[in-house]
Amino acid sequence: MKITIKSLRTFLGWCVVINLGVLLYWFLAIVFARDFVFMVHTRWFTISEESFDAIHYTMMTFYKLVVIIFNLVPYLVLRWVKFE
């Protein structure tokens, strides 16, 4: 199978969509089911609510940054640059 610019662009586009869907699901779970998610995590780990919030906020920011750097930016480059 030969990887073309078009197939790579399509792959990265779907990676962006799927990863942003995961991020949206994570965000909605924290917003609407925060107590349940906190309860599940405290069964496994001893953690305060402040630490729980800080960890999730930090990891969501890190995840979003990684998606932007490794999926969205390469997708946009392949979209805008004209390869000969």
The closest of 27, 9, 39 to 64, measured between CA atoms, is 27
Exposure string over 2-39, b if 16+ CB within 10 A, otherwise e: eeeeeeebeebbebbeebbeeeeebeeebeeeeeeebe
pTM value is 0.87
Instruction: List the pLDDT tens digit at each of the 84 positions of the chain.
Output: 799 999 999 999 999 999 999 999 999 999 999 999 999 999 999 999 999 999 999 999 999 999 999 999 999 999 999 876
Spell out the domain ranges in the chain. 5-80
pLDDT digits (tens, 9 = 90+) for 28-40: 999 999 999 999 9
